[in-house]
Structure formats: structure tokens, C-alpha cells
Amino acid sequence: MHLEQYIETSRLRLLEVEQAIAHFDFAAANHAVYQQLNREYQSLQKLVLAWDRRQRAAHDIAANQLLLASESDPEFLAVVHADIDALEAAAGLLDREIKLLILPPHPNEGRNVIVEIRPAAGGDEAGLFAGDLFRMYSRYAERKHWRCEILDLAESQVGGLKSVSFSFQGEDAWGCMRFESGVHRVQRVPVTEASGRIHTSTVTVAVLAEAEDVDLQINSEDLRIDVFRSSGPGGQSVNTTDSAVRVTHLPTGLMVASQQEKSQHRNREIAMRLLRSRLLEQLQAAEDARNAAERRSQVGTGERSERIRTYNFPQNRVSDHRFEITLYDLTRIMEGDLDALLNEIRALDAERRLAQELGMGR
């Protein structure tokens, strides 16, 4: 199908979905159906609006090209050239956005995310860098106007983190964060290193689409729920009541625990959110495994064992190994300015997936 035809078909479908939402019967219909319609509406609306902006940019570029051919005043021509440059830059960004939007949506599009960060190799330095990554993502969420909720956090004795789980709630949270799953490597001189020698440490990041109650049903008889006292750095008890909660899903063996809150009820709620999201991840991984050809074609699978990125502090460099991207702007990135890196990753992934779709004759 030609791109113009695809857009017009999408425009008609947008009107259909809009009508379906306007006349939706909440009393009789499944809530999951409404959520699916709403996600489709958001996706189609973004595509149509991006296409319309791209068409306007093309029209304005053509109009300016005519001005270049008919005018001779140097100052005026300089203004027109500058306008063309700005329009072409905007058109290039829109082309990338359109490529992202015309690809088949992932089932997790539009979902909120749960992010889990844990030190891997490197001892105390890994824990310190885990804290740095948490701070980086938190500042990125502030820039995106997402809501950040800490679900579980355990600090180390030297000021780093043993682990942290948190959720991001906001527009395109999953789309922006989905490529962060994997092993993050840091190369720098630790604050604990007296000789000034560069150390290499690693931290694992897992990004889970947050599952909703309608996504999967969990039978209460499949759960074992234990309560215990919360502990802080060094293992000392920080509560005098059994407020921490551990939930085990017996059929799969998955176990999650929460001790962040003083309320046992609240910790149980957090543990269940984590459990649902991990079960959803397992179901989706099984579906991916069934589609082996597609899985082999993916450049970055998001597996937690995959080393995806290196942060080299002496060189002020960030290198993403899946997409062969290198930026010498580590300082800004660690302050949460991730758009340049993540937008490039998403664009390259879209181009590769689109090439695959076209190669398969779709």
C-alpha cells in the first residue's frame, strides 16, 4: 500500500474509533475493550497529525524555493535560506516520527512502566552507579512530566542502592523507556579508589510494562503471602511490626517482596503490582519465543543479560552497543537529558523494523 493511501485509510479508521469511543457503553462492555480503543485512537491521531504537519512543511519548503528563484535581494534570500533549513530539519524529524507511527503497535504501547535497577558486578561502586541511574531516570521523568512512584528501595551502607523499583506514569512512558532493559556498564574512578585507577562496574535495568487487572487473572489459591519485618542497610530491623510482604506465585515460582511502606496493606498492593507486571513479561516472552524468526531479527532484544550501554566518565562518552550510537555528552545525559539518545535509538529501531516489514512484502 502506498504511504498516502495508508494515511487516508488511517484517517478513516480514526473517525471510526472516535465514534466508537463517543458511543461506548461502559455498563455493558468490557473495560479492556475501551482501553484498546483508546490506545488505537491515540496512535492514529498522532500519525494523522504528524502527516499533516509534514505536508505543511513540504508545502512551505516548495513556496520558499519559488521565492529563491524570483528574488535577488541578498538579505531577503538569507532569511529564506534560513527558513528552508529550519523547515527541512523539522521535516526530517517528522519523517522519523511517521516511521515510528506506521509500524504495527506493540501490545505495550500506551502502558505505564515499572523499572527495576540492581547492582551487578563491581561491589560498592556498582551500588553507587545504581543510585546515579535512578537519579538520571528520575530527572528524565521530570522533563517528560511523568509521575514517578517509588515502589521499593533498599540502600547500601556507602550511600548507593542495593535495589530500587519505581513506576513511571505518563504519556509514552513505555515507548521511551522500553530500550533501557539490559546491563549498563560504567567506567570511572570510584570515590573509594585512592590510587585514581579506573574501575568497570555493571548495573542491571529491567523495564516492565505495568500490567492492569484486566490483563491477566491471578487466582488467590495460586499465591503464598508471607509477612516479615522490614530491614535497612546492614540488615537491621527498621520496623517493630511485620509490615513487609512477600508474595510467591506458586505455578511459576515468581517471588516479589515489598517493604517500602509502613503499611502491610500498601506493601501487599505494591507486591501485587510487581507480580502482575513480571507475569505479563513472562507471557510476552513466551509469545516472542514462539515467533522465533521475528525474535532473531531484533537488534536489541531487551534481555537483562545483554550489555546494552557503556558510560565512560573519563571520556565524557556514552555508547549504545545495540545501535552503534556514541555521544560525547555524558554529563548532560546523567542529568536526565536523555531525549537525544533515546530518540535516536527509537528512530533507528523503527527504520530497521520498517525495512524488515517492507522486505517481507507487507
Distance CA 292, CA 11 (A): 33
Within this chain, do residues 35 and 176 fall inside the same structural domain, yes or no? no
Within this chain, do residues 76 and 198 fall inside the same structural domain, yes or no? no
Q: Is the pLDDT of residue 242 over 80?
A: no
Within this chain, do residues 157 and 241 fall inside the same structural domain, yes or no? yes
Give the residue from 59, 82, 102 where a domain finishes: 102
pLDDT on residue 301:
42
Residue 337 in domain: no
Distance CA 141, CA 341 (A): 15
Which amino acid appears at position 347 of this protein? A
pLDDT on residue 294:
40
Packed helices 31-70 and 74-102: angle between N→C axes, nearest 10 degrees: 160
Within this chain, do residues 15 and 42 fall inside the same structural domain, yes or no? yes
Residue 29: pLDDT band (50, 70, 90) is low
Q: What is the DSSP string of 256-307?
A: EEE-SSS-HHHHHHHHHHHHHHHHHHHHHHHHHHHSHHHHHH-S----TTSE
Within this chain, do residues 95 and 124 fall inside the same structural domain, yes or no? no
Residue 218 in domain: yes
* Percent of the chain topping pLDDT 90: 41
- Cell 523495564, residue? 207
Q: How many domains does the chain have?
A: 2
Indicate the SS3 state at residue 216: coil
Q: Whole-angstrom distance between the N-terminal and C-terminal Cα of the chain?
A: 8
Residue 151 in domain: yes
How far CA 53 is from CA of 18, 95, 331, in Å, comes to 21, 10, 34
Cβ(216)–Cβ(279) below 8 Å: yes
Burial label for 29, CB within 10 Å (0-12, 13-18, 19+), is: exposed
Give the residue from 56, 71, 102 where a domain finishes: 102
How far CA 24 is from CA of 21, 34, 35, 42, 215, in Å, comes to 5, 8, 11, 16, 20
Within this chain, do residues 50 and 80 fall inside the same structural domain, yes or no? yes
Give the residue from 102, 130, 163 where a domain finishes: 102
Residue 89 in domain: yes
Distance CA 76, CA 183 (A): 53
Mean pLDDT of 227-238: 61
The CATH number of residue 175's host domain is 3.30.70.1660
| Range of weakest confidence among 197-206, 272-281, 300-309, 310-319 | 300-309
Average pLDDT, the chain: 84
- Which range of 76-90, 227-241, 246-260 scores highest in mean pLDDT? It is 76-90
Within this chain, do residues 150 and 31 fall inside the same structural domain, yes or no? no
Residue 119 in domain: yes
The CATH number of residue 56's host domain is 1.20.58
Residue 331 in domain: no
Within this chain, do residues 76 and 179 fall inside the same structural domain, yes or no? no
Q: Is the pLDDT of residue 90 over 60?
A: yes
**Dihedral sign (CA 165, 213, 277, 258):** positive
Residue 272 in domain: yes
Mean pLDDT of 206-234: 76
Q: Which three cell numbers stand for residue 304?
A: 537483562
Distance CA 237, CA 229 (A): 7
Within this chain, do residues 84 and 129 fall inside the same structural domain, yes or no? no
Within this chain, do residues 16 and 35 fall inside the same structural domain, yes or no? yes
Render pLDDT for 69-87 as a digit per residue (tens, 0 to 9): 888 888 999 999 999 999 9
Within this chain, do residues 32 and 75 fall inside the same structural domain, yes or no? yes
Render pLDDT for 282-327 as a digit per residue (tens, 0 to 9): 887 776 665 544 434 333 443 445 689 999 999 999 999 999 999 9
Neighbours of 15 (CB within 10 A): 11
Range of the domain at 112: 108-314
pTM of the model: 0.69
Cβ(161)–Cβ(153) below 8 Å: yes
Q: Is the pLDDT of residue 270 over 50?
A: yes
Within this chain, do residues 164 and 302 fall inside the same structural domain, yes or no? yes
Residue 58 in domain: yes
